[in-house]
Each structure stands twice: as structure tokens, then as C-alpha cells.
Amino acid sequence: MIRERKSEKVPSSLLTTSQYDGEDVKAQLLEDQHEKCYICERKLGTDFEIEHLKSQENYSKLQQDWSNLFLACGYCNRKKSSSFDDNLCPLDTNIEDEIEQRIDFSRNKASFTTAINDAPHQNTVRMLHVFYNGKQKMRVIKEQRFFDEAKQKMNRFLEKVNTFLMEPTSANRALVADELSIEQEMLGFKYWVIRDNHLETEFKDEIVWNKH
Ligand SMILES: [Zn+2]
């Protein structure tokens, strides 16, 4: 997860109808979020749903509030439902800085940690943990497939980073830089690979997504 940015202009159907899922809302969110789920950062294709940061069940007044609407994939939207209403808002938090996001290959787990002890940080960490590692001790099939996909993608990224570290040519640098473009998936995890390998200065121009 990373910081998100939303266009300042509110889609007109939110002002003129009682719907929250007008075509103009979906189109604007697709553009603003670079066609990715704001939680897992996978490309959305045709599998996207409007996700209420604060759920409709508990916050009916925010049902049509532009700042409360995001696009999520079906997996994340259904898993979140109304269980995580007190999450960080990605519009005003540099989530990639405040939540460390890593794949722990040796333990076959995703790990999420934060130094900040308030409820929104803790809840967001708890949500990510459940999505990637499962609700029970063992992942159910969907959770396992979700995790495996994330692991594969991060494996490919790590290979490119390692190649650049061994042979820092401009061609190898470009391969890593391309993976860090805002259109790409899993930037929150990639951010911590860059930091863990002390490459944040090298790629400082690439890792500023939505920050200004
Ligand atoms: Zn998702």
C-alpha cells in the first residue's frame, strides 16, 4: 500500500444522483489509482469494485463522500467488508513510509510493521496481515493464491535488484526503475526492498509516488 491521490473535482453523479457507483466515479478512480487496487496494488482489469474506506454499514453518511471512495479488487473489497473501518486514509498518509511491508521468503509470510501505535496504523497492519497470511493458522485456497502471486511478483523484482547490485549498468538500472513506475504493482513492498538494500538515494526520483 502506498499514498494515493484523488482528483479534486468530484464526479458529478455523486452530486446529482443518489448513486455512489456511477460510471464517472469508476472512470475517475481508475485514472487516479492508475488502474490498481488501492490495498493490494494489483492491476484491476475488469475485477474492480467501489470500496468504502469507512464501510456503508457503519458510516451510511459517507456512502457518497468522494474522499471515502476507492477502487479495490474483489478479493480485498470482500475481505475488508465492515471489519476495518478505522484504517489509515491513504490520501493523507505516506503509507509506504509508515508501514514496513515485506515478503519473508524463509517463513513464507508477509510481514507488516509500524512504529506508530495509534488505532489506524495498528488496524491497517492487522488488515494487511489477514489479507496476505490468512485469517486462520492456515491460509484457505484463495488466500494462498493471493499470497503466492505476491511472492512471485516480488521474486521477479528482487532478481532485477540483485542483478543491478552485482552489475550496476544503466541497462540494469533501467529495469529496476521501470518496476518502480507508478503504473506498476506492489510498490509498497518494492519500496522496502529499495530501502533494505540502501538504494533509496539511487532511486530517490522513482519512489516519490503521490507525495507531492
Ligand atoms: Zn486488492
Cα 145 to Cα 48, 52, 53, 77: the distances in Å are 18, 25, 25, 16
- The rounded Å distance from CA 25 to ligand 1 centre is 18
- The rounded Å distance from CA 167 to ligand 1 centre is 34
| Mean per-residue pLDDT, 184-204 | 98
- The rounded Å distance from CA 145 to ligand 1 centre is 13
In this predicted structure, the answer to whether residue 34 has a pLDDT above a threshold of 90 is yes
- The rounded Å distance from CA 62 to ligand 1 centre is 21
- The rounded Å distance from CA 42 to ligand 1 centre is 6
- The rounded Å distance from CA 74 to ligand 1 centre is 7
Under a CB-based contact definition with an 8 Å cutoff, are residues 47 and 73 in contact?
yes
Average pLDDT, the chain: 97
Amino acid identity, position 81: S
Under a CB-based contact definition with an 8 Å cutoff, are residues 3 and 32 in contact?
no
d(CA 73, CA 102): 21
d(CA 183, CA 25): 20
- Report pLDDT digits (tens) over 146-177: 999 999 999 999 999 999 999 999 999 999 99
- Report pLDDT digits (tens) over 115-124: 999 999 999 9
Under a CB-based contact definition with an 8 Å cutoff, are residues 188 and 153 in contact?
no
Q: Which percentage of the chain shows pLDDT scores above 70?
A: 100
| Mean per-residue pLDDT, 71-93 | 96
CB atoms within 10 A of CB 180: 20
- Report pLDDT digits (tens) over 36-65: 999 999 999 999 999 999 999 999 999 999
Q: What residues have their beta carbon closer than 5 A to ion ligand 1?
A: 37, 39-40, 73, 76
- The rounded Å distance from CA 129 to ligand 1 centre is 13
Please name the residues in contact with 122: beta carbons below 8 A apart, sequence gap of 6 or more. Answer: 114
| Mean per-residue pLDDT, 23-37 | 98
d(CA 64, CA 15): 8
What percent of the chain is helix, strand and coil (3-state, nearest 5)? 45, 10, 45
In this predicted structure, the answer to whether residue 109 has a pLDDT above a threshold of 80 is yes
- The rounded Å distance from CA 102 to ligand 1 centre is 16
In this predicted structure, the answer to whether residue 212 has a pLDDT above a threshold of 80 is no
Cα 122 to Cα 118, 128, 144, 164: the distances in Å are 6, 10, 23, 35
